Each structure stands twice: as structure tokens, then as C-alpha cells.
A and B are shown apart, each in its own frame.
Chain A
Amino acid sequence: MTANRLTTRFAALAAEDRAAFVAYIMAGDPGIEASFDILAKLPAAGADIIELGMPFSDPMAEGPTIQRAAQRSLAAKTKMADVLAMVARFRQQDDATPIVLMGYLNPVLFHGYEAFAAAAAKAGVDGMIIVDCPPEEADPLADALDAVGVSLIRLAAPTTDDARLPAVVRRTSGFVYYVSVAGVTGVKEAVAASVAQPVQRLRAASGLPVAVGFGIRTPERAAEVARLADGVVVGSALVDEIEGALNDGANENVTERVLSKASELAKAVRLARVRDA
């Protein structure tokens, strides 16, 4: 595969000897315009890579925070086309920050793998993570994404044993996403020490950078993981800020609160290995 934004970004960060801060938000949460505003400002707040959630009615691997984000997004009438339009609009101002779509298979399948992959590539999407599409079921989607140069990013989990590793890293590119806890997003806390060995194992098996997510909420934990992995994904802790602002009736502060949390986490990731040295 030719170098895309993901490969370029990870190479640049490796040269600086730091991990990527990967920020997740749900497209359309709390509304399409409001979430675009956050998306547009995330790179300046320190996001090296952005994961953009595609809302789904039945997000079976998400904890309560992301479930509610999906419900808010769907209540705001976000469509798959709106998600891609947000990316296209983002690309008008930023052609370097990689964007990875994360979601569930059915809405993608509904629009057709080839059609959706082509539209995603055209909008400027760099990769896709489909939570309920394990390697055993992924070939048709992988074919469609390969054809347009969009990375299929695979999840590996604590339950992924050595026997499954080759299947998990086959036909994956960009990076591998290590799910650091057996559980849903944003509930259990990751233990940094338990992440080190699986990250090395995945790197060796895939030859790709490894990002870690699912249980990272605080700058301290983000820094610990940043010393071990090539990327640190934070989602629920950012989305909680959206919900917090809405609950406080402070709609106008939504963007500010998310960006402030993102900056704090980005800084922790950025300085993690500096303090180490």
C-alpha cells in the first residue's frame, strides 16, 4: 500500500520518539455542527489522529458514555452521509491529520462495501475500525477498502491468543488497535503494566504501530501507556465532557470543555517519554 496519512503520521512521531494521541469523538454528538466544531479544533488541541465514531442504534461493545453519544447523534438525525461530509469539510482545512472512522458493520453493509469505501476515500478518510467485523468476516470489506487505499484497522484483545494472531494481523494496515481490557469502552481501567507485553507481541506480528485504547481516562494513565505503545486512544473521557457540558446547561461551552480535556491528555502523551529520559 502507498503511504497514506496514517503511515506518514506514525513515521513522523516515531522520529520524534513520542506516541500518537488519538482522540475519539462521536460524529453528530451533540449535533452535526457542534461536533464539526470540535473535530475542526482537535488537531490544534494536540490530537495527532482522530477517530470519528459512526453512530449505530445497537453499539454492543460500548459502555454507557458512548452509547449515549450515539443516541444523541441519532436523535440529531445524523446520517452516514453526514459523517462523510464532516470529514470532507475537515479536509478543506487539514490535509495531514489522519481520520479513522469507527463503528459497526450494519450501516456500512447497508450502503454497500464498495460504495461506502469509495465515498469514504473521496471524503478523505484514512482508515476504518469496524468493531463487530472480526477477521473471519472481514474479507469482503477488506477487498473494498484495499481497492480505494483506505486502511482496515484491526482490533486485538486480551483474549486474542497466539493461535489467532496471524489471522488478526492479516490484511490490516495503518496500525493495530489493542483493546486493553476485556470489556466495553470507558468502564474498566487499563493497567499499564499488562499492556507492555501484548503491545510488543502485536508489533512483532504485524510490523505496524500499535495504539492502545478502551480503558484510558486520565493524563497519568495516558502517559504510562504512551511510554509503551505507539498510540494512546481516549474516547469516553472526552465524550463525558460533552455530556457534562450539556447537563450543566452550558451548551456554548461544549467545544471548550472537550478541547481543554484533549489538550491535557495530549500534553501528557507528548511529555511521557521526555520525562522518562
Chain B
Amino acid sequence: MTTGKPNDWSAFPDAQGRFGDYGGRYVPETLMPLVLELEKAYAAADADPAFHGELDGFLKHYVGRPNPLYFAERLTAHIGGAKIYFKREELNHTGAHKINNCMGQILLAMRMGKTRIIAETGAGQHGVASATVCARFGLPCVVYMGAVDVERQKPNVFRMNLLGAEVRPVTSGAGTLKDAMNEAMRDWVTNVEDTYYMIGTAAGPHPYPAMVRDFQSVIGKEIRAQILEAEGRLPDALVACVGGGSNAIGTFHPFLADEGVKIFGVEASGHGLETDKHAASLTGGKPGVLHGNKTYLLQDDDGQILDAHSISAGLDYPGIGPEHSWLHDVGRAKYLTCTDDEALAAFQLCAELEGIIPALESAHAIAKLPEVAKEVGKDGIVVMTLSGRGDKDVNTVATALGMTI
């Protein structure tokens, strides 16, 4: 167990894939050699300037990076505290940060000679991003999606089909994201020769949490350069929503060593932490093992995993990436919670004041801006990652507000 603060944040995970006590490689033996092979292949790619050159090219010309760091002037005035900037991940191709990771992983998969891609998806954002890069590079793609989510997110299912992916509805368990992830693991264990598993968040067995973090760290690196250009100094605080936590860790990681930068993650507390309908694994869960890593999980009094709830399908997961569990324990990051109702209000506020319809996931981070702005004071600077656009959520929001479209 790591209890004190580490001296060098970039030294984690260790050789066993651990962030303190979290992370690791809890997979069946059949997958273990594959996970080790992936670790080697990723280390080799990461050390190869040609790999980064290729990735940077696609991020610039296909994804549309760098995206802007935008001063949210009217929201700043409305809140009446620190200056608030948005990192505009919603302007990426496919409308969210997910593609940063998919682009990195597909280039790696091809380098490894893999010929078939599988992915899991909840709301469909990672599924769409996976299907997109598979279409771009001509690889077959199978996306596992909970049967309940398939019903809730029909437009995204259609999008994936348009992009040539096969969407397989998962009926086991509750038919949501964690069941889709179980089913993707079962596919991987069955098709070990040719298949690459494209995990959508900074979780799963090592090296996924570190690898996905690295691919998403383009967010934080750009923020750093852009805020220095705009303000001539680093921000006082960073804010991002946390489900599995990939946009958040990508935002936070390049700033971990900057002790003056406060870090805030926002978990979804659904109907409220006091109910059994939330998705706040750090605030309301306990450490355990699921989907290949040790991390905070929502679980019952016998170690069975509970179903999460959030109005935002992208945060509707009972676990969280292991690096967040560690940052939470050592106190480098602080994790706040936001209810469905608070997120809905922030969703509308952002649309009205800034002319930006945010994803419901990102609305959780927006909802906590007043709290963070207050903490850093009037002269402070806060950067929030707007992880995705909200077009996908308009039906959900309309229903929640009692309207019909």
C-alpha cells in the first residue's frame, strides 16, 4: 500500500501495473499471455517516434486537434468567481474525447498484426468512435452493448451500423455497460489469435489504464500550452467528470506534478448517494476487483457488484479507473458528486449562456464549477474539460423535463 505522496507521479504504474494498491492484471490465465504481449507492444510503440508521428498526423487531420481552449465569459460572469475555461473535446470528430484513445489503439492493433477489433460501449460514444476508426482503416469491428442500452440509444446503434460495425446486444446481467464489458472479455478469451480488445476507458488489466491515459493525455498537454498562451500561467484548478475516468485522467495527468494546480473529478450521484441509484464508486463504493483491475467498486455486503445508475449513460458504470482510486486515496485529486437533477440544470444553463449543448456526462462537471470557482477565489483560473457534445442526450433530457420532442 502506498500511503504517502509519491515523489514522481510519472513513475506510476509500477512494473506490475499498480498505482499504489490499485490496478494490476486480474484476468483468466488464457488472457494473461495476451495482456503481457500488449504491454510489450505498447511499450515498443510508445518508444517509437514513427508511431507518435503517425498518431499526431491523424489527430490533427482526422480528429481535428488541437481543439480550442475557450474562455466561457458569460458562465464566468453568471457564477461570479474565478475565470472559467472550457477545453472543447466536444469539437473532435465524433463529438467526444473517445476518439483520442481509439486512434491510438487502432494504430497499435495494426502494428501488432491484429485483424479484428472488439469493443464495449454503454451510451454508444466509445462504440461509435471504435466503429469510426475501424471504418477508416478497414478492419472488422464488433461492438458489445447491453440490450437495455441498445434500446435507449438507438441513434448510436444506427450510427455504428452505418460505419460498418456489428452491434451485439448483451442480455446477460442487467444488460448495461458492465455486462457488455463481460461479454467483450468472453469474446477476447475465445478469439485470442486475431482479436484486439479496444477498451474505451482508463480501466481494465494493465497496460490499459496507463495506455488509455497516455492517449488521452493529449487533452492535458494541450490545456497546458493553451492556458500558458492565454493567461501566462497554469490554472488553479482542473475539473472533469468521471465515469471510468478517461477524459479526467487525460486532463489531470500532465498536471499531477504541479502542486499548485488543484484537481477535481466529478462522479455521478444519480438519485442521491443515500439511495441505491448512483454511480459514485469512489464516494460510495469500496475497493475490489472487476474487469481485470483492483479499484473502487459499487458492491453489496457479500462482494457482488451492484448496478450503477446515472442519467448519463457514459457515467453509468459501477467502477472507476484505478489511477483515480489511487489519486483519491493519496489526496492528490478531490472527487465531488453531482446528482441527475444538478446535471440537468447545468446542461440547460450551459446551453442558454454559452450556446453549447454539453453531453450529460460533461454537465456533471459544469454543475460543480460554482463550488470549484469559489474554492480558488475571484482571481483564480479554472479549466473544465467539456468531454462531449449533447446532441445524443436531447431525448433523455426532454423526457426528464417532461417534454416530448
Residues on A lying within 8 angstroms of B by beta carbon are 55-64, 67, 71, 74, 79-80, 104-111, 131-134, 136-137, 154-161, 164, 168, 179, 182-184, 187-188
Contact = CB atoms under 8 A, between A and B. Distances in A.
Interface stretch (B77-85, B133-141, B238-246, B301-309): B301-309
B273 interface: no
A62 B182 CA distance: 10
Nearest to B35: A134
30 contacts: A57-B305, A57-B306, A58-B179, A58-B290, A58-B291, A59-B182, A60-B186, A60-B291, A62-B186, A67-B172, A74-B304, A110-B288, A110-B299, A131-B28, A134-B32, A136-B24, A155-B28, A157-B29, A157-B32, A158-B30, A159-B31, A159-B34, A160-B29, A160-B32, A160-B33, A161-B33, A164-B32, A168-B29, A182-B192, A184-B190
Nearest to A74: B304
Interface of B: 16, 24-34, 172-173, 178-179, 182, 185-186, 189-192, 286, 288-292, 297, 299, 302-306
Contacts of B29: 134, 154-157, 159-160, 168, 179
B373 to A, nearest CB: 39
A60 B30 contact: no
Contacts of B28: 60-61, 131-132, 134, 155, 157, 179
Contact of B189 (A110, A111, A182): A182
Nearest to B174: A57
Contact of A109 (B30, B32, B303): B303
- List the 9 closest A-B pairs by CB distance, nearest first: A110-B303, A107-B303, A157-B30, A183-B190, A57-B304, A60-B185, A155-B29, A57-B305, A157-B29
Among A64, A104, A161, max chain B CB count under 10 A is at A104
A72 to B, nearest CB: 13
B299 A58 contact: no
The B interface, classified by DSSP as helix, strand, loop or mixed, is: mixed
A24 to B, nearest CB: 16
Contacts of A160: 29, 32-33
Nearest to B26: A132
A105 B173 contact: no
A105 B190 contact: no
Contacts of A60: 28, 182, 185-186, 189, 291
B288 A106 contact: yes
A179 B30 contact: yes
Nearest to B37: A159
A263 B261 CA distance: 68
A64 B182 CA distance: 12
A266 B304 CA distance: 33
Nearest to A104: B289
A58 B176 CA distance: 12
A106 B305 contact: yes
A161 B36 CA distance: 12
A5 B327 CA distance: 46
B189 A58 contact: no
Contacts of A55: 304
A161 B16 CA distance: 20
B190 A182 contact: yes
Given A106-B305, A159-B33, 14 more contacts: A57-B304, A58-B182, A58-B291, A58-B305, A60-B185, A74-B304, A105-B26, A109-B289, A110-B302, A132-B27, A137-B25, A155-B28, A159-B30, A182-B192
Contacts of A61: 28, 30, 185-186, 189
Given A106-B303, A109-B288, A137 B26 contact: yes
A71 to B, nearest CB: 8
Contacts of A132: 26-28, 289, 292
Contacts of A64: 172
Contacts of B24: 136-137
Nearest to B292: A132
Nearest to A108: B303
Contact of B304 (A56, A109, A157, A161): A56
Contacts of A168: 29
Contacts of A136: 16, 24-25, 32
Nearest to A81: B302
Contacts of A59: 182
A16 to B, nearest CB: 30
Contact of A106 (B30, B185, B290): B290
A187 B290 contact: no
B218 to A, nearest CB: 30
Contacts of B173: 57-58, 71
Nearest to A163: B33
B183 to A, nearest CB: 9
| Central interface residue in A67, A106, A109, by most chain B CB within 10 Å | A106
